[in-house]
Chain A
Amino acid sequence: MNMYARFLYLAVGVASLSFTFATIGFGFGHTSDPSNCRECHARVYEEFTTTGAHANLTCGNCHQNSDLDYSIPISFNLSWLHAPADTPHSAISVKCVDCHPDVLDELQNESEVHRRFYINSRKLAISSNAACIACHTHADVDLRRMRRAYVSYTVSCDRTGYDVRWNESDELGMNRTGFGNT
């Protein structure tokens, strides 16, 4: 076989394989390699791959990060990437309630037991997932459990009878009794 024929076979072979992989490859998106994330997020990785309802998911299922590849240990000098080693990469997280909207519906109920915790967590936390993560992961959260020293109700009365409502505010308020015009 002469040189020209060998080159022709090689070219056709490479082209065929390229087309094949390119074609069947469509539909298979780039998936983030969890081991890259593990370099810096080892605790989260260990927890999610061993316990819980999300054990079959990979990091990329819920997170999308910037285009830099952070597979390199952070001790490595990243100056050539114009990315200081101590600069966290931009990342997007889906919200827990994105996939679990029923929880959000339940939290609309004023008597739902986690409602105040969720609302207050959202006011304070950097992520709206923090309230969920506090109890549904092993993440360290500084929780101070306190019980109420009192129970507060708002009671009103009209012609039809008493209307008793749970007072969610932390204010103790005053015991007041009023009567409507009769």
Chain B
Amino acid sequence: MIKKNLKYIILVLLIAVMLVTFTHGYLKTGKVVKVTATIEEAAVGGHTIPHITDINAGADRIKLLRYPTKDLPPNFPGVYVHVICASNRIEHWTSVPYTGPGTYNITAGLRFMPPDGTKVRVIVAVTDEKGNRIAMNTTDAVI
């Protein structure tokens, strides 16, 4: 009897696993750091240099199915976000293309989830096409 229905049991189990894992990823959320950075440009010695004039950072939660991980490919030039907690960089490599002055919204996924209420240092940096850092600013945030 069992042998006869084995194929159906396997089929049901596979579908159940699929549903459970999909539901888990759809319903469960993970903590991210959302950063809004304002970048202006100033002419210095014939060159234009970006300045990060304002940073707002805070925690949010995103469904695991949409959870941001390492940016592939990375952006050169780009606006990068680093989240530092207890002398460790805890975010996935996160960047958006740098297109000039303006406001950039960046969502950084975390490799390690610090407990709620943890104070972190958020660094926003602009890198050129070679990866050199040409501007940066920092702020503290509680996530």
Question: Which of these binds chain B: A33-41, A70-78, A86-94?
Answer: A86-94
Q: Looking at the complex, which one of B15, B22, B93 makes contact with A64 (CB distance below 8 Å)?
A: B93
**Does any Cβ of B come within 8 Å of A166's Cβ?**
no
In the bound assembly, the distance between CA atoms of A13 and B7 in angstroms comes to 12
B84 closest partner in A (C-beta): A99
> Chain A interface: which of B43-51, B52-60, B97-105, B128-136?
B128-136
- Interface membership of chain A positions 23-60, coded 1 if the CB is closer than 8 angstroms to chain B and 0 otherwise: 11011111100000000000000000000000000001
For the complex, what is the distance from the CA of A32 to the CA of B40, rounded to whole Å?
A: 33
Residue of A27, A31, A66 near B67 (CB, 8 A) is A27
Which of B22, B24, B72, B87 is within 8 Å of A67, CB to CB? B72
Asked whether, in the complex, the Cβ of B92 is within 8 Å of the Cβ of A29, the reply is yes
Most-contacted residue by chain B among A5, A22, A61, A92 (CB, 10 A):
A92
A92 with B17, Cβ < 8 A, contacts A27-B109, A61-B89, A64-B93 known: no
Please tell me if the beta carbons of A12 and B14 are within 8 angstroms of each other in the complex.
Answer: yes
- Decide if A23 touches B121 in the complex (CB within 8 Å): no
Chain A residues with CB below 8 A from B22, complex form: 19, 23
Q: Which chain B residue shows the least CB distance to A88?
A: B130
In chain B, positions 64-80 with a C-beta closer than 8 Å to chain A are 64-65, 67, 69-70, 72-74, 76, 80
Task: Please measure, in the bound complex, the distance between the C-alpha atom of A24 and the C-alpha atom of B73, giving whole angstroms.
Answer: 22
* B107, CB-defined interface residue at 8 Å: no
- Report B-chain residues with C-beta under 8 Å of the C-beta of A9: 7, 10-11
In angstroms, how far is the closest chain B Cβ from the Cβ of A124? 15
Classify chain B's interface size.
35 or more
Partner of A12, one of B15, B64, B73, B121: B15
Task: Say whether B61 faces chain A, with CB atoms less than 8 Å apart.
Answer: no
Could you tell me the distance in whole angstroms from the C-beta of B74 to the nearest C-beta in chain A? 5
Given the complex of chains A and B, what is the CA–CA distance between A23 and B23 in angstroms? 9
A-B pairs with lowest CB-CB distance, top 5: A67-B73, A29-B69, A23-B25, A29-B70, A16-B18
- Return 10 A-B CB contacts under 8 Å, by A number: A15-B18, A19-B22, A29-B69, A30-B69, A64-B131, A67-B74, A92-B74, A94-B82, A98-B82, A98-B84
B residues with CB within 8 A of A: 7, 10-11, 14-15, 17-18, 21-22, 24-25, 30, 64-65, 67, 69-70, 72-74, 76, 80, 82, 84, 87-89, 92-93, 95, 109, 111, 121, 123, 127, 129-131, 133, 138
Q: Which A residues fall within an 8 A CB radius of B? A: 1, 5, 9, 12-13, 15-16, 19-20, 22-24, 26-31, 60-62, 64-67, 90-95, 98-101, 128
